Amino acid sequence: MHDAPTTPGPAAGPTTDPEALADLAGAVVALAREIEFQHEHADYIPLTQTERLVLATLDRRAETAPSALAEQLGLKRSNVSIALRGLEAKALVARRRSSPDGRGVLVRPTPLAAQNLERLRARWAEVLAAVAPQALDTAPVAASLQEMTRALVERRRTQG
């Protein structure tokens, strides 16, 4: 056990305890890994982690350029391109030329992608419902994790 810092930061309180924050990060990573193991045989099109990340982002943004996706996700363009090719082969993403010279490309999720994400999210909910403590109020937990994710994405983008 490590002692909490003696000089509180700007948001002094329980959330600044380094040990608790490290435990939270470890729990999130471990939970994500266990969720992966639990849904391997569900009735949806299997996706790699990168494909899932790209598709979920496209689902929120609709049509966008691959370079914008790479920037938002903090991924190399080549990794996004590989994921997009895989998603296109699975009929989950469609491409269209966006410039008169044919060099610009925009990608968008297909209706099948929306169905696939819906099935995946339903499976995630099913997996967690089976093990979540009954008293757990998931909405504020999810909101806090999403807020932390947005803050980390913004930090990464501004620190470039």
Tally of residues, the chain: 160
| 76, 109 contact by CB (below 8 A) | no
Reference 147, options 5, 15, 1, 10; nearest CA is: 15
Tokens for 136?
Answer: 């757990």
What integer best gives the mean pLDDT of the chain? 85
Residue that has been written with the tokens 């008169």 in this structure: 100
Tens-place pLDDT, residues 27-71:
999 998 898 888 666 688 888 889 999 999 998 887 999 999 998
| Percent above pLDDT 70 for the chain | 88
Name the band, by pLDDT with cuts 50, 70 and 90, for residue 14: low
Assign 35 to helix, strand or coil: helix
Tokens for 53?
Answer: 């990340």
Phi and psi dihedrals of 14, rounded to 5?
-55, -30
Q: Which of 58-62, 72-76, 83-87 has the highest mean pLDDT?
A: 83-87
Supply the pTM of this predicted model: 0.74
Tens-place pLDDT, residues 114-124:
999 898 888 88
> Which helix or strand (DSSP H or E) is residue 118 part of?
helix 111-129
Alpha carbon separation from 155 to 71, 72, 149, 152 (Å, rounded): 13, 11, 10, 5
| 93, 87 contact by CB (below 8 A) | yes
Helix runs in 39-95, H state only: 49-61, 66-73, 77-89
pLDDT of residue 3: 45
Beta-carbon neighbour count of residue 1 at 10 Å? 4
